Amino acid sequence: MNSSPEDRRSVRVGLAYDERMCLHATPDGESHPENPERIRAIWRKLEAEGIPDRCILLKIKEAEDAIIASVHTRNHIKLIRNISSKEFDSRRLRIASKLNSIYFNEGSSKAAYLAAGTVIEATENVANGNLDSAIAVVRPPGHHAEANEAMGFCLFNNVAIAASYLLNERAELGIRRILIVDWDVHHGNGTQNMFYSDPRVLYFSVHRFDFGSFYPAGSDGSHCMIGEDQGVGYNINVPWEHGQCGDADYLAVWDHILIPVAEAYNPDIILISAGFDAAMGDPLGGCCVTPYGYSVMLKRLMKFSDGKIVLALEGGYNLNSLANSVFACAITLLEGSPIVGNFEGRPFESTWRVINEVRNELKTYWPVFSIDLPEEILIANVKRYPIQAGINSSSDSDVEKDLENSNAINFSSNNDVGDLILPLSKLKVDDGDFGELSPLRSQQNQPAPSEAYENPKEVTTETCNDLFHWRSSLSKVDVWYGSYGSNMWKPRFLCYIEGGKVEGMRKPCRGAMDKTPPKDISWKSVPHRLFFARSYTDTWGHGGVAFLNPQSSINDKSYMRIYRITLEQFNDLLIQENVTTEHFESPLVDSRDIEFLVKSSFMSVESIKGGWYSNILYLGEQDGIPILTMTCSVSDVEKFKSGELPVCAPPKAYENTLLKGLLEGTELSSEEAIGYLKDAAARNL
Ligand code: Q9C
Ligand code: ZN
């Protein structure tokens, strides 16, 4: 008798949803990822699966201003309260346009107050023991909302409001430590800031960072942001370096960061900023967490704080992934175990790097991080790298595009160089025998083309766990990279390898994935004309940057510093020089392209034709290794000549960097070096 399931006290899982949160929508019906269908899709799925019947449905109510005021300013509350009123009809659009990724309509206020109120209600009922756990299916989301500013589709910071409410208004419930787990693919800048110096809230976020270029771009999401004053150590960011992270990556972070910290912190309740935009198939996140992954992540948190957990919806923009993931979480709370599933694959190489960086940064505050990770997991015998997904792959990168790049795309579309340059695509259709063209390969124990070039057509971006190791094969091939611009100064060049910036640069570089410094450095002069052109770059500001005329002439002489790096690093350099954060399915230049270059001396890289340095030149060899550089196309040179594009002297900071480079390595006196640069800037092309 007493073994029958009916006899056991069943878990009480709260569930909250209200159709009125669908009132918030774009003002004139344009499509938007954060739309009412999101929560409708979730609710439909939960109903179809009979979930509401197994849960306790929560009363939905609007949040009170007094409670919201514990994390938001009076002005912000006033704005959100009034934004949907008649008086704001004429100003709504304009106000939204001044904010970052925000829209408003007549339903926004209501929805925002309901979303916050619902998360408060769920949290309070879990905290006071009426419920074991709860899921709040709410929108608009909250974690980007700052004290005084709506942003990133978020109006009120629902989770922060609820956390602050428990700590400050409901002290009698005995909640003294709150763990906020933010698994939305974006960093929750608002939540971080609201509790940055508050040790009563441990804010943990795992998010795409992409070296600061992923939304909400900047350094807030960096692992160096660990809290301040009393709150130091109580802010933990796990910043992915790229997309495609999946179950294995997230669970590695759970194993080696979140769970050990949660054990030490011993929270009284866990609030999950549960965005599902890291889910496989999400159009913004570009990651691939499965419903099973979410369910395991959730289950692992359920051993803390007596199982007191509240999930509050944040992002998640693929309706199917979203609904299936929420469903998986509901099942996990109801049944106390993850849904059935398994995950294959292992974490990316970058995941171990990130985990180590985070642990290292925080080890003085969390002694458990001082224990070294077992070596076996650090030396993964096969390293896993992200697939370089196609140019139109899902990513929400927010890096500012080079101002002039948009123009560049336009004028490179007339294919006046088309017959001069054999397109890469043509090169690759023929899978012939390159045996007699392989001087490079034999010298360097370079892999045969078939190994170096794993047929990219067969790699789909959906299959995240595929191994795609062009990087490891190209890391075995050396090239000389010839620099004639600011890269002649070694510290500046190293920014492209190690990341960061040096004096004079306005923007830091991402760096290469392989941060090994060059194996050798030397100088050369080449029979090509150096000139300066364009009028603005992100890195140097206003003024021209260096180009080499791709066409050589015996009358020209330019200095060049050559760095011996791997072909893998050369690809990362090429991507950075062409100001793109896109990832590519295949290397831009592979071993076979080098064979082509040796014969034809230059090659336009089709997929970065919009960039300024998409033309690769072969300048001979040294020590049996090819010397390559990158410059503009022949057609750009024609446009610089005709005046269609600006020829322009270098800005001071840039010129100084060139000078430092020249003086560091050439025999030139500083007068000669200055003269050399002045001449290049002044002479007609
Ligand atoms: N280039 C949440 O997931 N993207 N917010 C703007 C502009 C904004 C996401 C891109 C993404 C906000 C809650
Ligand atoms: Zn998000």
Report whether residue 182 contacts ligand 1, using a CB cutoff of 6 Å.
no
Residue minimizing CA distance to atom 8 of ligand 1: 152
- Check residue 585 and give its pLDDT: 62
Nearest CA to 582 out of 605, 559, 598, 602 is that of 605
- Check residue 286 and give its pLDDT: 96
CA of 141, closest atom in ligand 1: 13
DSSP notation for 451-472: HHS--GGG--SS-TT----HHH
Backbone angles phi, psi at 561, to 5 degrees: -100, 130
pLDDT band at 580 (very low <50, low <70, confident <90, very high): low
Angle among Cα 357, 518, 522 to the nearest 5 degrees reads 155
Q: Which residue's structure tokens are 């080098």?
A: 594
Tell me the C-alpha distance between 220 and 122, whole Å.
29
- Check residue 479 and give its pLDDT: 97
Q: Is the dihedral of CA 147, 152, 158, 163 positive or negative?
A: negative
- Check residue 442 and give its pLDDT: 28
Largest CA distance in the chain: 100
- Check residue 433 and give its pLDDT: 29
How far is ligand 2, taken at its centre, from the CA of residue 283, in Å?
11
- Check residue 379 and give its pLDDT: 52
Residue minimizing CA distance to atom 5 of ligand 1: 152
- Check residue 606 and give its pLDDT: 82
The answer on pLDDT for 469 being more than 70 is no
C-beta of residue 243 within 8 angstroms of C-beta of residue 395: yes
- Check residue 473 and give its pLDDT: 85
How far is ligand 1, taken at its centre, from the CA of residue 398, in Å?
9
Substitution candidate for ligand 1 out of 39, 119, 138, 153 with most atoms within 8 A of CB: 153
Burial class, 345, CB count within 10 angstroms (exposed 0-12 / middle 13-18 / buried 19+):
middle
Residue minimizing CA distance to atom 1 of ligand 1: 398
What distance lies between CA 370 and its chain's CA centroid? 28
SS3 state of residue 310: strand
Residue 280, amino acid: M
Report whether residue 592 contacts ligand 1, using a CB cutoff of 6 Å.
no
CA of 314, closest atom in ligand 1: 13
Nearest CA to 286 out of 295, 277, 274, 276 is that of 277
Q: Can you tell me the mean pLDDT for 180-184?
A: 99
Task: Flag the least confident range among 157-161, 346-350, 486-490.
Answer: 346-350
Task: State percent of the chain over pLDDT 90.
Answer: 72
> What is the overall mean pLDDT for the chain?
86
The answer on pLDDT for 5 being more than 70 is no
pLDDT band at 405 (very low <50, low <70, confident <90, very high): very low
Contacts of 595 (CB under 8 A, 6+ apart): 434, 437, 438, 440
The answer on pLDDT for 346 being more than 90 is no
Substitution candidate for ligand 1 out of 34, 206, 284 with most atoms within 8 A of CB: 284
The DSSP H or E segment spanning 327 is: helix 319-335
Contacts of 571 (CB under 8 A, 6+ apart): 474, 587, 588, 589
- Check residue 578 and give its pLDDT: 86
First to last CA, the chain: 95
Residue 137, amino acid: V
CA of 185, closest atom in ligand 1: 3
- Check residue 652 and give its pLDDT: 92
The answer on pLDDT for 626 being more than 80 is yes
- Check residue 41 and give its pLDDT: 98
The answer on pLDDT for 616 being more than 60 is yes
Count other Cβ atoms within 10 Å, centred on residue 459.
19
The DSSP H or E segment spanning 136 is: strand 133-136
Tokens coding 677: 């640069």
Q: Which of 220-234, 454-468, 600-614 has the highest mean pLDDT?
A: 220-234
Tokens coding 321: 């992934």
Which of these is catalytic: 72, 76, 143, 144? 144
Task: Flag the least confident range among 1-15, 347-361, 402-416, 643-657.
Answer: 402-416
CA of 284, closest atom in ligand 1: 11
Ligand (nearest to CA of 101): 1
Report whether residue 188 contacts ligand 1, using a CB cutoff of 6 Å.
no
Would you say how long the chain is, in residues?
Answer: 685
Q: Can you tell me the mean pLDDT for 571-596?
A: 82
pLDDT tens sequence across 52-74 = 999 999 999 999 999 999 999 99
How far is ligand 2, taken at its centre, from the CA of residue 41, in Å?
17
Task: Flag the least confident range among 23-32, 282-291, 396-405.
Answer: 396-405
- Check residue 388 and give its pLDDT: 58
DSSP state of 199: T
Substitution candidate for ligand 1 out of 99, 139, 184, 186 with most atoms within 8 A of CB: 186
C-beta of residue 315 within 8 angstroms of C-beta of residue 205: no
The DSSP H or E segment spanning 328 is: helix 319-335
Count other Cβ atoms within 10 Å, centred on residue 126.
29
Residue minimizing CA distance to atom 7 of ligand 1: 398
Report whether residue 277 contacts ligand 1, using a CB cutoff of 6 Å.
yes
C-beta of residue 96 within 8 angstroms of C-beta of residue 109: no
C-beta of residue 531 within 8 angstroms of C-beta of residue 684: no
DSSP notation for 604-642: E-GGGTTSTT-EEEEEEEETTEEEEEEE--HHHHHHHHH
Nearest CA to 242 out of 215, 273, 209 is that of 209
DSSP lists the bridge partners of residue 288 as 246
The answer on pLDDT for 408 being more than 70 is no
CA of 152, closest atom in ligand 1: 12
pLDDT tens sequence across 416-439 = 222 222 222 332 222 222 222 222
Is pLDDT larger for residue 669 or for residue 387? 669
C-beta of residue 70 within 8 angstroms of C-beta of residue 164: yes
Tokens coding 457: 């057509």
How far from 614 is each of 468, 550, 631, CA to CA, in Å? 24, 11, 6
Q: What is the side-by-side order of every strand in the sheet holding 178-182?
A: 56-57, 13-16, 133-136, 309-313, 269-274, 178-182, 201-208, 235-240
The answer on pLDDT for 359 being more than 80 is yes
Ligand (nearest to CA of 214): 1
How far is ligand 1, taken at its centre, from the CA of residue 674, in Å?
47
Tell me the C-alpha distance between 527 and 553, whole Å.
6
Nearest CA to 473 out of 447, 454, 492 is that of 447
The answer on pLDDT for 447 being more than 70 is no
The answer on pLDDT for 223 being more than 80 is yes
Report whether residue 241 contacts ligand 1, using a CB cutoff of 6 Å.
no
Task: State percent of the chain over pLDDT 70.
Answer: 84
The DSSP H or E segment spanning 322 is: helix 319-335
pLDDT tens sequence across 538-557 = 888 888 999 999 999 999 99
Report whether residue 189 contacts ligand 1, using a CB cutoff of 6 Å.
no
Ligand (nearest to CA of 182): 2
User: Could you confirm whether 187 is annotated as catalytic?
Assistant: no
How far is ligand 1, taken at its centre, from the CA of residue 505, in Å?
28
pLDDT band at 119 (very low <50, low <70, confident <90, very high): very high
Residue minimizing CA distance to atom 12 of ligand 1: 152
Contacts of 5 (CB under 8 A, 6+ apart): none
pLDDT band at 680 (very low <50, low <70, confident <90, very high): very high
Count other Cβ atoms within 10 Å, centred on residue 67.
18
How far is ligand 2, taken at its centre, from the CA of residue 278, in Å?
8
Residue minimizing CA distance to atom 2 of ligand 1: 315
- Check residue 3 and give its pLDDT: 42
Burial class, 436, CB count within 10 angstroms (exposed 0-12 / middle 13-18 / buried 19+):
exposed
Burial class, 643, CB count within 10 angstroms (exposed 0-12 / middle 13-18 / buried 19+):
exposed
Ligand (nearest to CA of 99): 1
Report whether residue 152 contacts ligand 1, using a CB cutoff of 6 Å.
yes
- Check residue 185 and give its pLDDT: 98
- Residues, Cβ < 5 Å to ion ligand 2: 184, 186, 275, 277, 315
How far is ligand 2, taken at its centre, from the CA of residue 208, in Å?
10
Angle among Cα 661, 663, 669 to the nearest 5 degrees reads 150
Residue minimizing CA distance to atom 11 of ligand 1: 152
How far is ligand 2, taken at its centre, from the CA of residue 204, in Å?
15
- Check residue 422 and give its pLDDT: 29
pLDDT tens sequence across 186-203 = 999 999 999 999 999 999
How far is ligand 1, taken at its centre, from the CA of residue 239, in Å?
16
